[in-house]
Amino acid sequence: MHVRTFIDEMERLAPSILAEDFDAQKIGLIVEGRPEISRICCALDATPHVVNKAVLASADMLVVHHTPLWTPVTMLTGRVADLMRALLSADMNLYVMHTNFDHAPEGVNDALAELLSLQNITPMTLGCIGTSVLSAEEIAKRLGGHIRLWGEVKKITRLAIVAGSGFDPVLMEEAKEKGADAFLSSEMKHSVARMAPLPCIEATHYALEAPAMQRLATRRGWQYFDDPPFNKIIP
Amino acid sequence: MHVRTFIDEMERLAPSILAEDFDAQKIGLIVEGRPEISRICCALDATPHVVNKAVLASADMLVVHHTPLWTPVTMLTGRVADLMRALLSADMNLYVMHTNFDHAPEGVNDALAELLSLQNITPMTLGCIGTSVLSAEEIAKRLGGHIRLWGEVKKITRLAIVAGSGFDPVLMEEAKEKGADAFLSSEMKHSVARMAPLPCIEATHYALEAPAMQRLATRRGWQYFDDPPFNKIIP
Amino acid sequence: MHVRTFIDEMERLAPSILAEDFDAQKIGLIVEGRPEISRICCALDATPHVVNKAVLASADMLVVHHTPLWTPVTMLTGRVADLMRALLSADMNLYVMHTNFDHAPEGVNDALAELLSLQNITPMTLGCIGTSVLSAEEIAKRLGGHIRLWGEVKKITRLAIVAGSGFDPVLMEEAKEKGADAFLSSEMKHSVARMAPLPCIEATHYALEAPAMQRLATRRGWQYFDDPPFNKIIP
Amino acid sequence: MHVRTFIDEMERLAPSILAEDFDAQKIGLIVEGRPEISRICCALDATPHVVNKAVLASADMLVVHHTPLWTPVTMLTGRVADLMRALLSADMNLYVMHTNFDHAPEGVNDALAELLSLQNITPMTLGCIGTSVLSAEEIAKRLGGHIRLWGEVKKITRLAIVAGSGFDPVLMEEAKEKGADAFLSSEMKHSVARMAPLPCIEATHYALEAPAMQRLATRRGWQYFDDPPFNKIIP
Amino acid sequence: MHVRTFIDEMERLAPSILAEDFDAQKIGLIVEGRPEISRICCALDATPHVVNKAVLASADMLVVHHTPLWTPVTMLTGRVADLMRALLSADMNLYVMHTNFDHAPEGVNDALAELLSLQNITPMTLGCIGTSVLSAEEIAKRLGGHIRLWGEVKKITRLAIVAGSGFDPVLMEEAKEKGADAFLSSEMKHSVARMAPLPCIEATHYALEAPAMQRLATRRGWQYFDDPPFNKIIP
Amino acid sequence: MHVRTFIDEMERLAPSILAEDFDAQKIGLIVEGRPEISRICCALDATPHVVNKAVLASADMLVVHHTPLWTPVTMLTGRVADLMRALLSADMNLYVMHTNFDHAPEGVNDALAELLSLQNITPMTLGCIGTSVLSAEEIAKRLGGHIRLWGEVKKITRLAIVAGSGFDPVLMEEAKEKGADAFLSSEMKHSVARMAPLPCIEATHYALEAPAMQRLATRRGWQYFDDPPFNKIIP
């Protein structure tokens, strides 16, 4: 398949028009490799580990959620040089779907809702609210790691979820107004926790977003590389 | 004591010239109450709970680390109105020491270093590095709560500490260059963890900064109000 | 009446959508007091004198034209602290209608036009033009104080009026093009007077705007507090 | 005298380094006429009337306080075209001394202090404070027109003066702290009057600044053109 | 003819709505002279030479492509003063048509296309592409001066032309995509030439734009003044 | 030699402190290859042709004047991807000296002055002025290509030279004031030529700057790759 054909397919899946403004020039074909692609791999981040595995797998295309070139560069040195060298030397393409995939139907938040078996979904500006029958312990189990509670979470009936770094006060107010009992996201800040209008559940960024990339890979028959950041609780 | 005298004392303790630029107009006497003060209380944050206890204690002055008026306001409504009403009705003064106290000798980072028994201290742009004999478990115990490890922390010899939200890539590079084996701070972000040049230990913002306020209160004979945010790990 | 009901009423009277952009966050419920209101007072400015009288009158709500929190604040000290203490301690609400009330039908400019008995009103971008039978002396009398003439005002047939600080060169050109013989507003500047395309009449800001608040109070059965700034001519 | 020689003299009198930043490119030789000058005229503003009289007087140089090209232009049309035509056709030079002359020794504020017979002068950031034996009526007389009092002015002992538009809250606080009983300037605004920390005396901009230009002309043997804006009180 | 009538005519010819945003306040009646005009002259630039000839021709109106007041001014000194003096003293009007005339039908690019006998015109965002039968030598001859080739120009079938300074990488990509073999414009920069996606032909700015002004003058019966900058190749 | 040692040497030659502010992050080690270098090549630009020759020459380091990553990028696609692939795959380092080398002693302008045998050099803000005995024809010959005269160049005694794109009106005024008869640089613009205060000689950017890189390579024993842009005059 020509890379153009692949891009057209991805654009149908997660149209770039759905992306936030800050993603301009940071989604789509971020590194251009060979034009003809047959072997596609997928991961959440283009880490050195992931890129190495993709090279070993002779991938022509790597699809990720987070661009490795977020800050515009005028120099390719250090880690960035190493990563770009690995990709470019292998003539591998790198394709990024970020907030366009967050917002897309069947995208990041939808995958998370599915993983948590949410029912009767109400959309929010970002993420959604759904009826949950899971306890906090079961949520942790589904997400495959520990979670952290901010505020006492009693019975959860309606759970708001925002994959990624979604503890935004405005979004949390929206969740409360729309009837949520708890708010699941990642990267809680002290100042935000202090003013949270509803109990919050903090998971890791990876745990909330990786399922969407894994599900995408499975559905498309791509190889998925799991590479969670090392993370361990000392109680 | 007149409030002017008190301010002069505090200014000697944590000179406002030490504060970061973003703290302009956000430290010092933030709410002005009665000019004569005799009863002083102290906490990390001016939460409703803390202010209520200060009112019950008939405090004339409340000293905190984080201003409750961070974002400039043109309206006093909702929680802000309630908090300001509680303070103003009681004629209580509110005094804030933020990054000036972070940087001050005997300040926030010094108190944290002392709590963790760091030796042979090397200063950093913010925070410091010291020799530690504590294991991760012992660090968690001293801080009074769980910690989270990002990256495998083996034996720690030299520990970098930055109270507050200090996982800044530039600061982490500085720590590594100055010989640190691990970096302790709060509010880790996924994108930063991915590129961390050394293993990181994440505690809560409260656990890292409250000790300094508590120590200050003890030394000065003020009443200290502990009010950690509700926080619980589900493994 | 619940404060929400009151706000809805006021919003119908002077919709916030009519306000200039610079009034964002500076109109509407500026200080939030008790939710149930029965006694409403009104004035042009929330001066200490006005607020004291409102407190003595046991008002639940004070309606004014100019917000006392124009410049965003991160500190409540000095006069601002005193004023906010007076309002918050009394659980009084403060509601501001500014440029939305200037532009509203039956608003500030309409009240001024009525006071000056203008006929055959032509609207301007701000303010209006109307046929006047008053001499300069009669205008001064109606406004309840001295006026100052800039440029020789002969017979006035069509008078342009802009309540508040309205000597804007673009507005003055509009007035002239629409047939005005004279332009009444407040706070003339030397550089503007030098280039004025038509004779100008300068009254005080208070004299031009207070009538609208007084009329509003009368119509609604609220108590109005008159508090003009001390102002005296030495010829 | 060559225009360069004249500019050097003026630069000694009111060095451009003393000007506020906003005067950049707006003081000095603003319109360049013939290089050799023998006849110099002076006024506060380059009004059409003043320029006409300067042309009739065969002036080579007109010295004023306020530039007629304040707003940068890319078009010469209407009044600006007429004024520039009058100057350029006559090959007349136009020289502007603005805030550099305000701040200069023997400049605008000094001339005003002299006119009001102030003694024991204390400088302020702008303007100065001096001991006055004049009553408000006598001040009005010296200034040659009416004045307006904002706040009750009882006995004036120490009078703060700021020629031009000087009712700046920060400056007014400075005046009060330095012991002034009253503050004389021009172009008072309602919002400033409301918060004035001391009684204010408002004269016209012209009345406060023209004396300096007149004194300069007298001392240098230049012809001075008086051209006050038409201004009349209707009590 | 009144100048207003003339402006209306020109506005029909090259509507100001067609101009680029950067031309705001820099097109139309730039210098206002006498209101009644009978003698109109035309040139590419309002050089001293051109203005002198217009004065000698007793012109009431001079129409040019480039405004002499591009950078906003607060001073009329040196060359600008001399030029404005010449125009204003003669009561001559100066009218500028810039990017509005570039984009207008029958405008600058159309005149250039006609001069080069382009056929089957395809418009571009700016300029156009047309079928050419001319060799590079013949193009130089039609333009009345030397041209400079950047990149080897073989047979030209479809020629892109952009009058003025049009070597913009985005425009050049557009030309290539729309089938151009070569790109004619002026003021090539080294960094642009290095990345040019098609061979480029550089003429002088004057050679590309003057024909439109000349054709306009001819059609309207105005006097045209040719004043190319001195330009000579040393091989 | 380790790349760090090489960078230190280059830093002595053309200290980055001499660079213009706009060169921040755009000079020095722009692409990081292998740390040990033994074979160094040099050119003016990192064109595909130059990089290919450097790869064939097994270079570890390529030194150029113009960075190929001027505009910050968040994508590596098209030509940029190809160029970066060629460099990174070969583990080649790319080092850029731009305005720091322009300003450096023995730098770009010095090399040009030497090539033109200038004597009695007077420095300018950028570039310099020197006594020349060359005719325009001889200058063209020394530069190895055609030149273009703007304004009639008679006998040149003192020649101002600015390598690169140096036709800046302020610089040209400086040259005239310091006694230059002609001004040599590249990339003349029509609007600048119109106002030039002295006759100008335009060469290509390459012709003015390449000699410095060539001389540097010769002196250091590096291999130099000449790659002038295709450029041809049609008279």
ipTM: 0.95
**Residues C20-27, mean pLDDT to the nearest whole number:** 97
Nearest CA in chain F to E69: F191
In this model, does residue C13 exceed pLDDT 90? yes
Pick from B32, B71, B73, B74 the residue to mutate for testing the C interface (most C CBs within 10 Å): B74
> Rounded distance, CA F122 to CA F109, Å?
12
From chain C, the residues in CB contact with B73 under 8 A are: 69, 72-74
CB pairs under 8 A between A and F: 82
Whether E119 has its CB under 8 Å from any CB of chain D: the answer is no
Asked if C75's CB is within 8 angstroms of B25's CB, the reply is: yes
Q: Which two tokens stand for residue A174?
A: 């929206």
Whether D120 has its CB under 8 Å from any CB of chain E: the answer is no
Judging by beta carbons within 10 Å of its beta carbon (0-12, 13-18, 19+), is residue C189 exposed, middle or buried? middle
- The neighbours of chain A, by the rule of 3 or more Cβ pairs under 8 Å, are B, F
pTM for the whole structure: 0.92
Beta sheet of B40-42, edge-to-edge order: B28-31, B93-96, B61-64, B40-42, B223-224
Whether C84 has its CB under 8 Å from any CB of chain B: the answer is yes
Q: How confident is the model at residue A230 (pLDDT cuts 50, 70, 90)?
A: very high
Q: How confident is the model at residue A153 (pLDDT cuts 50, 70, 90)?
A: confident
The DSSP code sequence of chain D is -BHHHHHHHHHHHS-GGGS-GGGTTSSEEEE---SB---EEE-SB--HHHHHHHHHTT-SEEEESB-S--S-BS-B-HHHHHHHHHHHHTT-EEEE--HHHHHSTTSHHHHHHHHTT-EEEEE-SSSEEEE----HHHHHHHHTS-EEEES-----SEEEE-SSS---HHHHHHHHHTT-SEEEEE---HHHHHT-SS-EEEE-HHHHHHHHHHHHHHHHT-EE---PPPEEEE-
How do residues C36-54 score in pLDDT, each as one tens digit?
999 999 999 999 999 999 9
> Rounded distance, CA D119 to CA D16, Å?
28
Nearest CA in chain F to E207: F190
Q: How confident is the model at residue D155 (pLDDT cuts 50, 70, 90)?
A: confident
pLDDT confidence of residue F31: 98
How do residues A34-43 score in pLDDT, each as one tens digit?
999 999 999 9
Whether A89 has its CB under 8 Å from any CB of chain F: the answer is yes
CB C231 within 8 A of CB D150: yes
Question: Could you give the angle at the alpha carbon of D80 between the alpha carbons of D75 and D83, nearest 5°?
Answer: 135
pLDDT confidence of residue C153: 84
Q: How confident is the model at residue F7 (pLDDT cuts 50, 70, 90)?
A: very high
In this structure, the strands spanning D61-64 and D93-96 are parallel
pLDDT confidence of residue A79: 94
Q: What percent of chain C has a predicted confidence (pLDDT) above 70?
A: 100
How do residues C177-221 score in pLDDT, each as one tens digit?
999 999 999 999 999 999 999 999 999 999 999 999 999 999 999
pLDDT confidence of residue E124: 97
In this model, does residue D23 exceed pLDDT 90? yes
> Rounded distance, CA C222 to CA C8, Å?
17
How do residues B152-193 score in pLDDT, each as one tens digit?
988 899 999 999 999 999 999 999 999 999 999 999 999 999
The DSSP code sequence of A53-110 is HHHHTT-SEEEESB-S--S-BS-B-HHHHHHHHHHHHTT-EEEE--HHHHHSTTSHHH
Q: What percent of chain E has a predicted confidence (pLDDT) above 70?
A: 100
Q: How far is CA A63 from CA A29, A51, A94, A96, D212, in A?
A: 9, 11, 6, 6, 75
Whether F22 has its CB under 8 Å from any CB of chain A: the answer is no
From chain C, the residues in CB contact with D234 under 8 A are: 136-137, 139-140, 146-149
Asked if F touches E (at least 3 Cβ pairs < 8 angstroms), the answer reads yes
Distance of CA E111 to the CA centre of its chain: 10
pLDDT confidence of residue D154: 83
Cite the DSSP H helix spans in chain A: 3-13, 48-56, 78-89, 99-103, 108-115, 136-143, 169-177, 190-194, 205-220
Q: Which two tokens stand for residue F56?
A: 């064939």
Whether C55 has its CB under 8 Å from any CB of chain B: the answer is no
Q: Which long-range contacts (CB under 8 A, 24 or more apart) does C83-86 make?
A: C83/C46, C83/C48, C83/C51, C84/B76, C84/B84, C84/B88, C84/C31, C85/B88, C85/B89, C85/B91, C86/C48, C86/C51, C86/C52, C86/C55
DSSP state of F17: G
Both ends of chain A: CA-CA distance in Å?
Answer: 50
Q: How confident is the model at residue F154 (pLDDT cuts 50, 70, 90)?
A: confident
How do residues F69-79 score in pLDDT, each as one tens digit?
999 999 999 99
Beta sheet of F128-131, edge-to-edge order: E231-234, F147-150, F200-203, F182-186, F158-161, F128-131, F119-123
In the three-class reduction of DSSP (H, G, I as helix; E, B as strand; rest coil), residue C200 is classed as strand
**How many CB atoms neighbour CB E62 within 10 A?**
30
pLDDT confidence of residue F23: 97
> Rounded distance, CA F228 to CA F209, Å?
11
> Rounded distance, CA A86 to CA B10, Å?
55
From chain A, the residues in CB contact with F75 under 8 A are: 25, 28-32, 69
> Rounded distance, CA D102 to CA C185, Å?
29
From chain E, the residues in CB contact with D81 under 8 A are: 31-33, 88
